[in-house]
Structure 1
Amino acid sequence: MASAPQPQHLEPPERLVRTVSAWEGEAGRAWLAGLPERVADLLARWELRPERVLSPGGQISMVVLVRQADDTPATLKVGLVTDETRHEHAALARWDGRGAVRLLRAEPDAGALLLERLHSDVSLRSLPEQKAMLEACATLQRLWVPPGEGHPFVSVAEHTARLAAALRERRGQPYVPDEARALVDEALAVRDELCATAPGEAVLLHGDYHHGNVLAADRVPWLAIDPKPVAGEPAYDLAWLVRDRLETLVATPGSQSAARRRVAKLSDSLDVDRDRVRGWALFRAVEAGVWALAVGDRESGELHLEFATWL
């Protein structure tokens, strides 16, 4: 009689350990300690055969390339459940493979998703910037669908209200330079105005859309991954495309003009109001910059705040 298969013990990648420990503290370390056991349990119950753990992988999730019982390739993602990631499965189910990776199975409370296999080492960052932006826009348009009746997605106004509250609290902290506080005030005022004047009906937004979150696929050329879904206006989703490849943009002569041209080109190509794209890019860059300063990532924080001044 054949013996039962032994549980697969896979260790989380170094980057996952580092980021979750830094961002979540003791709670994050406790989650990491139980992660190998949770992954082993999912592999056994879902009848998956692991091939390898992706490294560096996600910042708050462990990603394992697997084979299903019928030998079909798939990807197992087990992530930290947060307010931003809680409804990732619902967004993927709503898109049902249209513009985004297809969801095969999920246990949302455990942060566990079984996804179709994409080419994890080939993102839009592998393309020249102009071509990558064209492909990014084409893919993003397919994601902007009605969120559905009775949907679980938080609105942009509600989500950014939480971000704005945290930003106000951090504004006076020693890690925020004095010269940046006026920029924080501007970002908060812009956010309030954008929410007060939000146009039209809400659509389902990716929430974290940038070149690194669009991977090469087999059934279509490119598919989005890793949404942090919210419901709201399309301009919000363009904010991260405006600041994509930021390190390269900073090193380019005329960075400020280049950033403003991005706002214009992306707005025009997707028929979205330029001022609203600029406003959300400003707010999101300032919020991300101050958050980075708060967790000790001074280089990223200063970079995002500098970018915000260009807008």
Structure 2
Amino acid sequence: MLDIPDEVWNKVVADGNAAWLDELPSIVESLAQEWSLTIGATLRGGHAALVVEATLADGTAAVLKVGVPGTQRDLTFEATALRLADGDGCASLLRDDLDRGALLLERLGAAICDVVPDPATRHDMMCDVAVRLWRPVSPDVDLPTGADKTREYSDLLPRLWEETGQACSEATVEDALACLDRRRCAHDDRHAVLVHGDVHDLNVLQAADGTFKLIDPGGLRAERACDLAPSSDAIPTPATTCTPGRSGWPPTLV
């Protein structure tokens, strides 16, 4: 029997897509047959996809990711980002079936927070992984820009504020919206690169060769600094911040 995490189950039901849960075992079974996979244990931690261990016919360790209803657009952007990265800085994309919301990915190991105990060292290593992913991307590539993302958040934030019973002051929301507007206006395609969009220590996993790679890329064309803010959560105090400029890019371009 397919083990579906509570987080995935609850999201799907809350979104009114309970019928999909009945279809999910047959989706996984058909993908396993077509791709010659042996399905293993369910991996937990997320709510937007079912993720299970899989083994290819040649013994290659992989994971099968099947997005919940409503995530096809995000999975398409993720697949595009993974193809552009081609295994450098991100898990390798082995196969995909976007009609069924499925990605077959390189299986990675432990999260960096479970391997590297020192926060400052961990932060620097996460920055190094992000830099490996950064690369120029043509505006013709179908990926959202940093400006697109700010528009999305600008629409989402007021709605969430109301749904949570106005959990903070209106002035705080207005300040956040003003910040988003400044970022939207500051977007410049000339300086935009492929970025991950959510570089935190649970999205950085150890590869078989001991290096680290990112998972779940958002697939954005944005300024490099977009990837540096989330990784700063790994630093508990200003005294442990990494050396300025370690990315190797001029501050004016980050």
TM-score by length of 2: 0.86
Q: What does residue 228 of structure 1 align with?
A: 218
Residues 150 and 183, structure 2, Cα contact 8 Å, conserved in 1: no
Q: CA deviation at 1:166?
A: 2.1
Match of 1:17 among 9, 18, 21: 9
Q: How does 1:1-16 map to 2 (within 5 A)?
A: 9-16=1-8
Match of 1:269 among 243, 246, 252: 246
Q: What does residue 36 of structure 1 align with?
A: 25
CA distance in 2, matches of 1:134, 1:39: 38
- The code of the aligned residue for 1:72 comes to T
Gaps of 5+ in 2: none
Q: How does 1:56-135 map to 2 (within 5 A)?
A: 56-80=44-68, 81-119=71-109, 122-126=110-114, 127-128=116-117, 129-135=119-125
CA distance in 1, matches of 2:201, 2:178: 29
**Shift in CA distance, 231/149, structure 1 to aligned 2, threshold 3 Å:** closer
Instruction: Give aligned pairs, total.
Output: 248
Residues 127 and 228, structure 2, Cα contact 8 Å, conserved in 1: no
Residues 94 and 106, structure 2, Cα contact 8 Å, conserved in 1: yes
- The code of the aligned residue for 1:15 comes to E
Q: Which has the larger radius of gyration?
A: 1
Higher helix share: 1
Q: CA deviation at 1:219?
A: 3.4
Q: What does residue 138 of structure 1 align with?
A: 128
- The code of the aligned residue for 2:6 comes to E
CA distance in 1, matches of 2:218, 2:89: 15
Quick one: percent identity of the two aligned structures?
32
TM-score by length of 1: 0.72
Where 1:85 maps in the other structure, the secondary structure is helix
Q: CA deviation at 1:31?
A: 2.9
Gaps of 5+ in 1: 1-8, 250-257, 278-311
Match of 1:237 among 209, 221, 227: 227
- The code of the aligned residue for 1:183 comes to T
Residues 75 and 98, structure 2, Cα contact 8 Å, conserved in 1: no
CA distance in 2, matches of 1:117, 1:97: 12
Q: Which has the higher contact order (CA 8 A, sep 6+)?
A: 2
- The code of the aligned residue for 2:47 comes to Q
Q: CA deviation at 1:37?
A: 1.5
Residues 10 and 40, structure 1, Cα contact 8 Å, conserved in 2: no
CA distance in 2, matches of 1:236, 1:149: 18
CA distance in 2, matches of 1:268, 1:261: 16
Q: What does residue 188 of structure 1 align with?
A: 177
Residues 63 and 77, structure 1, Cα contact 8 Å, conserved in 2: yes
Cα RMSD after superposing both structures = 2.6
Residues 64 and 102, structure 2, Cα contact 8 Å, conserved in 1: yes
Residues 150 and 181, structure 2, Cα contact 8 Å, conserved in 1: no
For residues 107-153 of structure 1, give each alpha carbon's deviation from its aligned partner in whole angstroms, at most 9, with x where no partner exists: 1222211112211xx11111221121111011000111112462110
